[in-house]
Structure 1
């Protein structure tokens, strides 16, 4: 393997995938949310840069072609596991996450089974949009966790009646509770909507790959 810049970025992105979950083992929230968000966004940005550099400077390689989709899938799968966990297994998050995880497992299995014929399952433009939607949705949902715990930090020591009065506009909001609540609600709705869009694109591209693979799945006629 040549240690070109695209390959180095891909390896770093693969290493960052478990790092997103590890943040929640070593740091308290919301710091864990902040670190996971920054790490995920930086890793996602390298996905664009390594592909661009590889194409523009003729540094494409078989190693990069193999590892790039693995790094993307590892990032998405681990991040979704973390998000479904801190969202309390919310069905609005769990269902699209399940669709995404099922498709990624299914297509990976198809590619492994097809072996040399796996070239028929080349990454399509729609699949790239699917990956982009997944990355953006996950980043926004990580931001939801940030805003949620920034809010919780500020209500610490306040009784429920005071918090309710502040949110209802009946008491002065000296600690910015309404600001964090609005940000949490906005990012949750936008992130969840994008996650459903990503799930829809995931299902469509998964079916497309299955359709392309079907000729290779038929048993040979018995003579």
Structure 2
């Protein structure tokens, strides 16, 4: 538990309540702070895996906690962006796709763990996560940039990236489902 990669992963989980508090009132300043925290969380997401592999300290705990930290951060950002009206109307569709896929894949992983089958993260799923983080970061930035840089199209770029991320989310979700169905057998 006390390895640096695991501590970085745990810090992302512990940052979620702080992130929610920063986003609660949705002022341009707290949104800017939330954007900074989100960027820091993204850096720790990259660093924990990189350090664990480089130091040879990949652990079962880290493998377990890393996707949970990602899902908690993504879901809390989406919920708070909806709360602050940065995600509304048709933009709710890709947000819903992302959240539903995360729940479905988590359930699939839980089922497969029960039959002792591992479902490793694909390279495309890593790109999906990166695109989700860019989309959500841009939407966060868009909440504050309207105050200090109105010409920055952060919100519009975030919406576009969110739709692209939802497309990758559907593709990777389908890939995982197909892989999982091979281990479920006939009903």
TM-score normalised by L of structure 2: 0.93
Measure the CA separation in 2 of the matches of 1:77 and 1:92: 18
- Counterpart position of 1:210: 177
Instruction: Give me the whole-angstrom Cα distance separating, in 1, the residues matched to 2:26 and 2:112.
Output: 44
Instruction: Please give the alpha-carbon distance, in whole angstroms, between the structure 2 residues aligned to 1:6 and 1:191.
Output: 29
Who is 2:83 aligned against?
Answer: 85
CA contact (8 A) 1:92 1:192 kept: no
How many residue pairs get aligned? The number is 187
Q: Helix, strand or coil: the match of 2:150?
A: helix
| Distance in structure 2 (CA, Å) of the matches to 1:194 and 1:76 | 14
CA RMSD of aligned residues (A): 1.7
Contact 1:10 1:47 in 2 (8 A): yes
Native 8 Å contact 1:111 1:118 kept in 2:
no
| 1:60 alignment partner, SS class | coil
Q: Which SS does the other structure have where 1:216 is aligned?
A: coil
Deviation at 1:136, TM superposition (A): 0.8
User: Residue 50 of structure 2 corresponds to which residue in structure 1?
Assistant: 52
2:68 corresponds to which residue? 70
The offset of 1:206, in angstroms, is 0.3
Number of the residue aligned with 1:123: 121
**TM value normalised by structure 1:** 0.79
The counterpart of 2:112, out of the listed 111, 114, 120, is 114
CA deviation map 1:107-149 (0-9, x unaligned):
111111222446442100000000000111111110100023x
Q: In 2, Cα distance between the equivalents of 1:79 and 1:88?
A: 11
Matches of 1:56 and 1:89, distance apart in 2 = 38
Distance of 1:28 and 1:132 partners within structure 2: 24
1:201 aligns with 2:179: no
Q: 2:31 aligns with which of 12, 30, 33?
A: 33
Cα deviation, residue 36, structure 1: 0.7
Q: SS of 1:217's equivalent?
A: coil
* 5+ long unaligned stretches in structure 1: 152-179
Contact 1:137 1:192 (8 Å CA) reproduced: yes
Q: Quote the offset at 1:16 in angstroms.
A: 1.1
Partner Cα separation in structure 2 for residue 35 and residue 215 of structure 1: 45
Larger radius of gyration: 1
In structure 1, C-alpha distance between the alignment counterparts of 2:20 and 2:56, rounded to whole Å: 34
